[in-house]
A and B are shown apart, each in its own frame.
Chain A
């Protein structure tokens, strides 16, 4: 079991900055995120796009903002459970919480801070009528282990980087790779597009464009897909696996069932005080929360994280006296033994 002071759900900018503010109060943090990397939307959706309203940064790329935050919190040694989704929460008799992920990883914390943005990123599922019947029976939306496809016939659908990159990668593993896309054009890194062209010319990737998978054929498991190409007659391709790769979209997910007050797909919080939810000890900060006048801005998330940490401290240490200290005055003492501080003035006589 992972133990920590503040368990942060969501490793986007708000969640990451929480680690810093908590660290100043000597509270340790652990973060859970469904994505395999930190940064949330900033790293998943728009890492190369500029942001212009981060105070003191006239312009910063979303990916760089993530890198800077990771650097800023490094000395507070945050723990990460990445690629797992927070599934259940159990309040203990002593007021602490145990949060368990979809993979069964348990986290024990005094405070839970939900910084989940728009929710956890889930694969987008194409609206094929019978697709749900074949999930885990030959339909996979995420490739977890490429070896799973060794000597199998596979059909990949999609037109972005992941469809291209996996098609390339799996040519050496699978018995056959068929790539189906609604257009002749693909949106991906130039290298990947060129490589797919090369593999297609060499007969290693079967390309069917412009086309769309309309149905799945099989009894117990996937045996084929039915395809319409260029508005023509529907035809069948035999396959063992159908892998639709249409990117990810955020869904609030299991958090919606935690007994928290939800309004407009967001968690209601007390913004007059500390961004606590209707369950004492559970806070919601950043894009995931709502209150009168709420703005979904990264800079607002930073502010909310800061107030939330102060409240968390008082909850953990109700009888301890504390006053806010400026980092310029107090310096920053990391859990890793490092110390950052303002250089001392030198007093020296001039003769």
Chain B
């Protein structure tokens, strides 16, 4: 079985990228975005993926059923800027087969 899934990522300049992300490397969305260099290094994943900054905030455009927000993510989003109803932290979204076809847009940098 192909463990890769397709993702659509709109970067901070509004450019759409269609990428194939692995599901067998324990990566989250923030890490996938970094590995494809879709956001400048040093502007995303600043806390390393602990839900302690909001530098990987993204807007979820597709209707995927995402994992529930944990308390850390929820409270971080409560203090983040440029928040929308569909805001999530990329570092809290694991790459699983269920995420195939996920479409997200990166929120602006702080």
Determine how close the nearest CB of chain B comes to the CB of A2; give it in whole angstroms.
Answer: 29
Binary B-proximity of A250-267 (CB < 8 A = 1, otherwise 0): 101000000000001110
- Bound-state CA distance A182–B79 (Å) is 7
**Contacting pair B41 A159 (CB below 8 A):** no
When distances are taken between beta carbons in the complex, the residues of chain A under 8 Å from B110 are: 124-125, 249
Q: Assess whether B70 is interfacial by the CB under 8 Å rule.
A: no
**Contacting pair B55 A249 (CB below 8 A):** yes
Of all chain B residues, the one with the shortest Cβ separation from A294 is: B41
**Contacting pair B82 A127 (CB below 8 A):** yes
Q: Please provide the chain A residues from 28 to 51 with a CB less than 8 Å away from any CB of chain B in the complex.
A: 41, 45-46, 49
Q: Please provide the chain B residues from 10 to 65 with a CB less than 8 Å away from any CB of chain A in the complex.
A: 40-43, 46-47, 50, 52-53, 55
Q: Assess whether A187 is interfacial by the CB under 8 Å rule.
A: yes
**Contacting pair B42 A264 (CB below 8 A):** yes
Binary B-proximity of A213-243 (CB < 8 A = 1, otherwise 0): 0000000000000000000000000000000
Determine how close the nearest CB of chain B comes to the CB of A164; give it in whole angstroms.
Answer: 12
- Bound-state CA distance A300–B46 (Å) is 18
Determine how close the nearest CB of chain A comes to the CB of B80; give it in whole angstroms.
Answer: 8
Binary B-proximity of A51-93 (CB < 8 A = 1, otherwise 0): 0000000000000000000000000000000000000000000
Prevailing SS type, chain A contact patch: loop
Determine how close the nearest CB of chain B comes to the CB of A54; give it in whole angstroms.
Answer: 15
Of all chain A residues, the one with the shortest Cβ separation from B53 is: A249
**Contacting pair A127 B81 (CB below 8 A):** yes
**Contacting pair A160 B41 (CB below 8 A):** no
How many B residues, CB 8 Å from partner? 17
Q: Given known contacts A124-B110, A249-B110, A266-B41, is B79 in contact with A46 (CB within 8 Å)?
A: no
Determine how close the nearest CB of chain A comes to the CB of B98; give it in whole angstroms.
Answer: 28
Q: Given known contacts A126-B81, A246-B79, is B52 in contact with A46 (CB within 8 Å)?
A: yes
Determine how close the nearest CB of chain A comes to the CB of B22; give it in whole angstroms.
Answer: 19
Q: Assess whether B78 is interfacial by the CB under 8 Å rule.
A: yes
A-B contact count (CB 8 A): 53
Determine how close the nearest CB of chain A comes to the CB of B40; give it in whole angstroms.
Answer: 6
Q: Assess whether A301 is interfacial by the CB under 8 Å rule.
A: no
Determine how close the nearest CB of chain B comes to the CB of A189; give it in whole angstroms.
Answer: 13
- Bound-state CA distance A126–B83 (Å) is 11
Determine how close the nearest CB of chain B comes to the CB of A243; give it in whole angstroms.
Answer: 14
Q: Given known contacts A185-B75, A187-B78, is B50 in contact with A249 (CB within 8 Å)?
A: no
The one of A45, A159, A246, A265 in contact with B75, judged by C-beta atoms closer than 8 angstroms, is A159
**Contacting pair A182 B46 (CB below 8 A):** no
Determine how close the nearest CB of chain A comes to the CB of B78; give it in whole angstroms.
Answer: 4
Binary A-proximity of B73-102 (CB < 8 A = 1, otherwise 0): 001001101110000000000000000000
- Bound-state CA distance A250–B52 (Å) is 13
- Bound-state CA distance A45–B79 (Å) is 15
Residue of B42, B52, B79, B110 with most chain A CB atoms under a 10 A cut-off: B79
Of all chain B residues, the one with the shortest Cβ separation from A160 is: B79
**Contacting pair A264 B78 (CB below 8 A):** no
- Bound-state CA distance A235–B38 (Å) is 40
Q: Assess whether A314 is interfacial by the CB under 8 Å rule.
A: no
Determine how close the nearest CB of chain A comes to the CB of B36; give it in whole angstroms.
Answer: 14
Q: Assess whether A183 is interfacial by the CB under 8 Å rule.
A: yes
When distances are taken between beta carbons in the complex, the residues of chain A under 8 Å from B42 are: 118-119, 252, 264-266
- Bound-state CA distance A124–B57 (Å) is 15
Of all chain A residues, the one with the shortest Cβ separation from B52 is: A45
Q: Given known contacts A46-B47, A265-B42, A266-B41, is B81 in contact with A124 (CB within 8 Å)?
A: yes
**Contacting pair A264 B40 (CB below 8 A):** yes
A-B contact pairs, 19 of them (CB 8 A): A41-B47, A46-B50, A118-B42, A124-B81, A126-B81, A158-B79, A159-B78, A160-B79, A182-B78, A182-B83, A183-B78, A185-B75, A187-B75, A187-B79, A249-B46, A249-B53, A265-B43, A266-B41, A266-B42
Residue ranges of B at the interface with A (Cβ–Cβ < 8 Å): 40-43, 46-47, 50, 52-53, 55, 75, 78-79, 81-83, 110
Query: Apart from A185-B75, A187-B75, A264-B40, what 8 extra A-B contacts exist at CB < 8 Å?
Result: A49-B50, A118-B46, A181-B78, A182-B83, A187-B78, A247-B79, A249-B53, A265-B43
